[in-house]
Amino acid sequence: MLLFSFIFLLIFTYANTFATNNNFLCNKLIKNNISLQRGKELYNIKSNYYLDGPLNCKQIKFFFNNGYLIVENLINDDTLNKLHKLNFDKIEFNSWEKYNILLSVANKIGEAVAQLTPIVSHGDEDLHILKDALYIYDGCKNKNINCYEWHIDNKVFWPCDDNSIGPGINAWLTLDNIDVNGGGLCIAPSSHSIKFLDCRDEISKGSGKLSLNLKKKLDNICFAPILNAGDVILTTRYLFHRTSEFNNPEKSTKKKRYIVRYMPSSSIMNGMSKLSINNKYPNKTIKSLNEKGKYKNKFPIIKLKKKLIKKYNYDFNDFYIK
């Protein structure tokens, strides 16, 4: 019995030491104000532990290799039925403030997002809802809006400093089935990487549009997944995406979706708080803004168990940037 207790204590001590080392590595990035190289913002921690949540090790690895992940049936039918009863028109931002059910939905999705955010999963950061939106896609009947342009979200839709360690994850929940007729989301796998910095540079210019050559570059790798209601697409902040147009508009029906963006608590808020260049956040962390003042409780914290689970076939190299 004494031997068993000693072995248990040894294993427990090793596990805590390993987790503490990873905490140190994550926190060191923040305290030293280290920014990750453009095209390499998506980083991972090599550890023999992963955060408990809805994702398994294979899914986590896929996300870090490709910049996106489809999580099937993450939201159940009962919740979907309640979401369909919400009364909203076209697009509604910060919708969690109006509909309580969205906080529980965002928290459920956030459990998966936390597993993909090392500074949260292996550090002591909290994960926050940055922005959310309920949206109805009707085939872009408003001709003044082009839904089909490749883009990454700007400082209106992602009002964090580009050097914020995260790098941030966008969750796209479909409330309706998405079939071969389209109406869902197109993504460009791995377009967050260095190979696509030319697309980032081009889109940051005045027009916000890509040249024909760069558009073709993304079109060539376009992936428009077929989805069931309740499926969620998770994408890293800098992955290019666009709306998937209806192939046959005459057979199309309106498609509802719920979109949530997540960032860790050390992220610096310096983008636009409203759809106006004159309404900017005051260059402070989400954590500090959320604690007091004008933006108190405006960035809800995702409730997490923070339980680490041991992997198999782990690697003892502590830290690497993909």
- Dig out the tokens for 116 from the structure: 């993909």
Amino acid 20: pLDDT: 44
* Structural domains for the chain: 2-320 (2.60.120.620)
Cα–Cα distance, 266 to 260 (Å, whole number): 18
One-letter amino acid of 152: I
Helix, strand or coil, per DSSP, at residue 54: coil
* pTM score, whole prediction: 0.87
| pLDDT per position as a tens digit, 177-213 | 999 999 999 999 999 999 999 999 998 886 778 999 9
Residue 54 has pLDDT above 60, yes or no: yes
Under 8 Å between Cβ of 172 and 239: no
Strand (E) positions, the chain? Answer: 44-45, 49-51, 68-71, 91-93, 127-137, 169-174, 185-187, 232-236, 241-243, 255-264, 268-269, 284-285, 308-310, 319-320
Residue 34 has pLDDT above 80, yes or no: no
| Confidence tier at 279 by pLDDT (50, 70, 90) | confident
